[in-house]
Structure 1
Amino acid sequence: MESGSFIEDDLRTQCSDMLYSVQTKTGKGYIYTLIEHQSRPEKLMAWRLMRYSMEAMQRHLEQDNETLPVVIPLLFYHSTTSPYPYSTQWLDCFADPELAESVYTQAFPLVDITAIPDDEILMHRRVALLELVNELACLLEQWAVPKEQFRGLMYYILERGNTSNAEQFLQGIATKTTDYREDVMTITEQLEAKGEQRGIEKGILLGRQEGEHSASLNIARQLFANGVERTLVKMSTGLSDDELASLDD
């Protein structure tokens, strides 16, 4: 029997669980048992059992195993209602079991970006940006979104969406939503100011680096004037051989 429990704290007075490890032909497996102290039918019990089983699988992986184990869920149920009134097939917990079965019993779709040419990816991005602008414009026309929420939504899309065409996106919104045009212009101005500030900070950094380099050159000149060997000058200033050679010219 394995140690630990997967039951939520607020349910521990109502049920208990045990996880047994067994050896199979292909490796280690488990039997997960859930015992209801005050048994009552639960419509989504199959999903609870599946969720606990997946947590057991995750624990198995965390023990440096490279493949998932088979975990057999087993419910001990005793109540006046018999037989059990709900399905024990976890896919039946979905509103559309047939759709869920088609999704979760076959390979997941994969989009291999590395196999798509760059120009095609760029085209998809442009189309996606246009679709996003159109959809947002339609939603804003249908619902009167408060100005603060609108600005928050715009900032979220620009920051979390990691869009490289922020200006184009905002221009599209401003064109299609007259009620929020002033807010869009305010956001645009704030982004421009933020970009200018970043440019200033970058300029300060470059200026500082250039100043440090100039100081290193002056120190090297003084060291050479005092007869210090080139090797020691190089170690002291961090200048390259080419930079030191330029001082000899």
Structure 2
Amino acid sequence: MTISTTSTPHDAVFKSFLRHPDTARDFIDIHLPAPLRKLCDLTTLKLEPNSFIDDDLRQYYSDLLWSVKTQEGVGYIYVVIEHQSKPEELMAFRMMRYSIAAMQNHLDAGYKELPLVIPIVLIHLKYEKNREDIGLFGI
């Protein structure tokens, strides 16, 4: 019997947990800022099959896309799990690209209006008391 291993076991476990609607709902409810949380009906979370991570970056990142009903229609909560030990300077730009890809998929599915896409980035970093460069999305 061959045992497969991953170089990022903690991230694999976290992604596995976030695939479950109840766990994802609890996580999002805790970490989503209140003004955004009020827009979303978290009881409608549905895991979508899409992934937007570039093939050459899959060893460092994994992602999950959840659709959710919002006050304005269908929206998405996009969770990216980063397998790196230091922040990426262009992460905000990368998240914008992925959010636009989610919007394009939404339009390709026949919707006529752009959806709300809320990106959440999970990174594992050593805690440093005065890290100003980490707070991309407030979590």
For 1:40, the equivalent position in structure 2 comes to 86
User: Where does structure 2 lack aligned partners over 5 or more consecutive residues?
Assistant: 1-46
For 2:117, the equivalent position in structure 1 comes to 71
Return the alpha-carbon distance in structure 2 between the equivalents of residues 31 and 39 of structure 1. Answer: 24
Question: How far apart are 1:84 and its partner, in Å?
Answer: 5.5
Structure 1 position 28 matched with structure 2 position 74: yes
Q: Which one of 79, 95, 102 corresponds to residue 56 of structure 1?
A: 102
User: Where does structure 1 lack aligned partners over 5 or more consecutive residues?
Assistant: 90-249
Return the alpha-carbon distance in structure 2 between the equivalents of residues 87 and 22 of structure 1. Answer: 24
Return the alpha-carbon distance in structure 1 between the equivalents of residues 66 and 82 of structure 2. Answer: 17
Q: 1:49 to 1:84 in 2, by over 3 A?
A: farther
Return the alpha-carbon distance in structure 2 between the equivalents of residues 28 and 4 of structure 1. Answer: 15
Return the alpha-carbon distance in structure 1 between the equivalents of residues 69 and 102 of structure 2. Answer: 15
For 1:18, the equivalent position in structure 2 comes to 64
For 1:234, the equivalent position in structure 2 comes to none
The answer to which structure, 1 or 2, has the higher relative contact order (CA under 8 A, 6+ apart) is: 2
Question: How far apart are 1:56 and its partner, in Å?
Answer: 0.2
Question: How far apart are 1:4 and its partner, in Å?
Answer: 2.0
Return the alpha-carbon distance in structure 1 between the equivalents of residues 60 and 91 of structure 2. Answer: 14
Aligned residues: 89
- One-letter identity of the residue aligned with 2:112: E
Question: How far apart are 1:26 and its partner, in Å?
Answer: 1.4
Q: What aligned pairs does 1:197-208 form with structure 2 within 5 A after superposition?
A: none
Return the alpha-carbon distance in structure 2 between the equivalents of residues 78 and 41 of structure 1. Answer: 9
Secondary structure at the residue paired with 2:48?
coil
Residues 58-83 of structure 1: per-residue CA shift (max 9 Å, x gap): 00000000000000000001112543
Q: What aligned pairs does 1:219-234 form with structure 2 within 5 A after superposition?
A: none
- One-letter identity of the residue aligned with 2:90: L
Identity of aligned residues (%): 51
CA contact (8 A) 1:41 1:81 kept: no
- One-letter identity of the residue aligned with 1:16: S
Question: How far apart are 1:40 and its partner, in Å?
Answer: 1.9
Q: Which one of 29, 53, 58 corresponds to residue 7 of structure 1?
A: 53
CA contact (8 A) 1:43 1:86 kept: no
Residues 22-44 of structure 1: per-residue CA shift (max 9 Å, x gap): 01121100000100123321111
CA contact (8 A) 1:14 1:38 kept: yes
Structure 1 position 88 matched with structure 2 position 136: yes
CA contact (8 A) 1:46 1:87 kept: no
Return the alpha-carbon distance in structure 1 between the equivalents of residues 82 and 68 of structure 2. Answer: 23
Secondary structure at the residue paired with 1:75?
strand
**What is the root-mean-square deviation of aligned Cα atoms in Å?**
1.7
Return the alpha-carbon distance in structure 1 between the equivalents of residues 96 and 132 of structure 2. Answer: 17
